[in-house]
Structure 1
C-alpha cells in the first residue's frame, strides 16, 4: 500500500535528520560540558627570581653586588644552574641587565670600589699605642699619691683613643651597629681580657698560694701582683698593624671579587688572603712584644699576648664585615673562663668546697698560670679563625652594601 502525503513528508524529514546528524540542544541548562582547558603560559624562572629580589637588583650599582646579595640569600652556583646559568655571577649579570635604569648613571660593570688608605685613620690607629706608652712612662717616673692620678688619666685617655680608632677607618663598626647590645657586650669582654692580661697571671698566682688578703694598694707595698705592662702596651701599639691588615683584607678581597668569574674562584683566592693578613698581624705583634719587653725589661708573655691579639683581631674583622654574633660569644666565653679560674680557688676556701679548685690547680700545676689565658683565648681564637675561613671568604662579606649578617 502506497504511503499517503503525511507519511511521505515524515519520511523525508527523518532522512534529512539522519543525514544532518543530531539536532543542537538549545536549552542552556542541558549544555554543561566543561570548556577546554586554557594552554599554560611558559614561566620565566629568572623573572620569578627577579621579582623575589627586585629591591636588591634595583639598588645595586654593579652586577657583583647582586651576586654577593644572592649568595647571602643562599643562592649558589648549583642553584644558578637551574636557571640555565653557569654560576651566580652570570645570573647576576642577567638580573642587572633586566632591571630598568632610569635614575643616575651607574658605574660600569666590574668596577667595585676599592678603599684607599687615608692619613686620618692611619694617625688615629697610632693614638692608642702612643698614649699607652706615655702612660707607662708616667707611671715609671711618678711615685706616691700622684701615681693613681696618672694611672686613671692614662686609662681614660687610652680608652677614648681606642674608641676613636674603632669608629673610623678599616676597624670601624659597620653602619647601624654602634647602638646594638652586642657591641656593648663585646666592649665589656674586651676590657676584661685586657685587664686580665695586665694583672691576671699574677693575681691567679696569689689566689692559688693563699692570698691576697688585703685590698690592692697603688702607693705602698702590698701582696698584689705587679702589672704586666709589656704585653698590654704591645697590644695597644698593635692597633696600627691591625688597621692596616684590615685594610689590606678589604682592598684585596674587592680586587679578587672583580676578577673572579664564580663564587668558587673567589673563595679559593680569598682564603690565602685572609690567612696571609692574619699571619702578618701576628708577626707584627710578635715584634712589638719583643720591643716592649726589651725597653721595659719585663717578660714578653708571648703565648698570652699572641693568643689574645689573634682573638681580638679576628673578632674585629668579623664585626667589620657584619658577622657580630660569633665574636661576642667567643670573647664572652674566654672572659668567663678566666673569671672562673679566679673564682673557683676562692670558692674552694669555703668548708667542704675544696674540690672546686681541682681543675685550676691541675692546669696551673702542669703549665703554670699562663695556661689559663692561653687556653681560653687560644681556643676562642681557633674557633673564630675557622668561622672566618668560612664567612670572610664569601663574596657577600665584601659587597659594598655588606649584605651578610
Structure 2
C-alpha cells in the first residue's frame, strides 16, 4: 500500500514489484499477463494525493545539464595541467606542483562523481555508505598502481628499486603518467556513456510491456555503452602516449578503465556491494603480487617470487594488472548484465540526472 500510494506512475510500482521478487509468472496468478499490467491496476486502485506535484516527464533527464558536463571535464583538465607543470619545473617548484596538482585532481574527481549520471541515486540502502567509501579507497590504490606499480614491479624483479620514482626513461623506477592522464580524461566519456545508458533504458522502460521484454532490450544498451567507453579510452590512450612519449599500456589501462566504469555504473544505480568486493579483491591481488617479489628475497623464500617474476620476465610487468583487472571486470560485467538490465534498477528517482 505504501509503494502504491507514493508512486506517481505505474512504472514505479512495476519496478518495486520486481525488486520484491514479483515476476510475470507471479502476475498471472492475479489474472494479469505481466507485472506491468498488474502495476497499472494497483496504481488505479491506490489512493493518491491530488496535490502532489507530478513527476517530470521522461524527456526531462534526456537533457544534459551544463553543471555535471563541466565537472566531468575538470579531472582531465587538472591532470593534464599537473603533468605539464611537472615537466616544466624542478626542485622545490616540482614538489609543490605535484602536491597541488594531485590534490586539485582528486577534489575535481570527487566533485564529478557527486553530480550527474555517475553520482549514486540511492544512498539509503543499508551499508551503501560503507561500501562506497571502501570502493573509493580501492580505486585510489588501483590508480596509484597504474601510475607507479609497473615501474616498481620491474625494478623489484631486477633487484631494486635503488631510488625514488622518476619520470625519465632511464630511471630505475619509472612512472607511467600516460595511463593516469588518459583515465582522468576518460571521466567525461564515462559520464556521457552512463547518461546515454540511463536515458535509453528509461525510454525502453516506458515502451516495454513485460520484464523479460525490457531485459532483452536493455542488455544491448548496456553492452553498447560499455564498448563505446572502451573505444573512447583507447583513443585517449593513443593520444596521451604520443604526446607524452610513453607507452600507452593499452592492456592494463583498458582493463582497469573497464573495471572502474562497471563499478561506478553499479554504484550509481544503488548496487554497492559487488563493486566494493571486486575492487578490493583486485587491489589485494596487486599488492600481494608486489609483496611476493620482496618476500622472495628472504632466505629460503625465493619460491614465493617465482610466479610473478616468471610472468614479468615473459610478458612484462603489465601482466599482473592486466590479468587482475580483466578477471574483476569480467565478473562485474556478468553481474551488471543481470542487475542493470532489471526494471527495478531504473526506477524513477526524485533527483534528475
* TM-score, scaled relative to structure 1: 0.82
Separation in 2, partners of 1:112, 1:261: 19
Structural RMSD (CA): 2.2
Which residue number in structure 1 is paired with residue 245 of structure 2? 297
Match in the other structure for 1:58: 5
CA distance in 2, matches of 1:132, 1:108: 39
More helix by share: 2
**Partners in 2 of 1:111 and 1:222 — Cα distance?**
56
The question of 1:196 aligning with 2:171 is answered no
Q: Is the 8 A contact 1:62 1:107 kept in 2?
A: no
Distance in 2 separating the partners of 1:84 and 1:166:
44
Match of 1:349 in 2: 297
Unaligned runs of 5+ in 2: none
Contact 2:18–2:344 (Cα < 8 Å) also in 1: yes
| 8 A contact 2:14–2:39 mirrored in 1 | yes
Cα distance change, pair 202–67 in 1 and its aligned pair in 2 (3 A): same
Q: CA deviation at 1:104?
A: 2.0
Matches of 1:130 and 1:111, distance apart in 2: 33
1:82 is matched with which residue? 29
Is 1:147–1:218's contact at 8 Å kept on the other side of the alignment?
no
Q: Do the aligned residues in 2 keep the contact of 1:112 with 1:254 (CA within 8 Å)?
A: no
Alignment of 1:5-154 (within 5 A): 54-104=1-51, 107=54, 114-154=61-101
Kindly state the Cα deviation for residue 365 of structure 1 after the two structures are TM-superposed: 3.1
Q: 1:139 to 1:86 in 2, by over 3 A?
A: same
Residues 1:277 and 2:225 aligned together: yes
Of 139-148 and 237-246, the range deviating more from structure 2: 139-148
The separation in 2 between residues aligned to 1:130 and 1:311, in whole angstroms, is 22
Counterpart of 2:189 in 1: which secondary structure?
Answer: helix
Taking CA–CA contacts closer than 8 Å with sequence separation of 6 or more, which of the two structures ends up with the larger relative contact order?
2
Q: 1:142-183 CA distances to partner (integer Å, 9 max, x unpaired)?
A: 112211111111000000000010011111122436981211
Residues 1:358 and 2:306 aligned together: yes
CA deviation map 1:266-321 (0-9, x unaligned)? 01110110010001100111110111111111111111110000000000000000
Aligned length: 348
1:331 aligns with 2:283: no
| Between 186-195 and 167-176, the greater mean CA deviation after superposition | 167-176
Larger radius of gyration: 1
TM-score normalised by the chain length of structure 2: 0.93
Q: What is the CA distance between 1:358 and its match in structure 2?
A: 2.0
Tell whether the 8 Å contact from 2:167 to 2:176 is kept in structure 1 after alignment.
no
Asked if the contact 1:114/1:255 (under 8 Å) is kept, the reply is no
